Amino acid sequence: MAEGGPTDEEVVRTAAEAAEGVVFARYKQSAVRDLDVTVSFENDVLDVDVYLNPPADADPDPDRVADDAALAARSAVDDLFASSG
């Protein structure tokens, strides 16, 4: 990590919040049975995994929502680094 850049904690928090934001923009929070967003940032490598147990009649497709959430997390971290440097 470059000096003056975001901390590992900021990176993880930013990614997790972005992923959750996508999921809850697509589904009502009360309808989601389970959501697990796992984010790690080690040696400047970001890993994001989104597990989603959606409502029974989920629309849009839950796999697509999980993929979009992970992509949003990565994008948010890219933006975080761009704004800090």
pLDDT tens-digit profile, the chain (85 residues): 446 789 999 999 999 999 999 999 999 999 899 999 999 999 999 999 999 998 788 889 999 999 999 999 999 999 999 998 7
Measuring CA to CA, which residue among 10, 2, 12, 7 is closest to residue 49? 12
Give the pTM.
0.90
Q: One-letter amino acid identity for 55?
A: P
- In angstroms, rounded to a whole number, what is the distance separating the alpha carbons of residues 26 and 1? 33
Topology, domain 8-84: GMP Synthetase; Chain A, domain 3 (3.30.300)
Residue spans of the domains in the chain: they are 8-84
Cα dist. 10→37, 41, 54, 80, 81 in Å?
Answer: 15, 10, 28, 9, 10
Cβ(70)–Cβ(16) below 8 Å: no
pLDDT at 8: 95
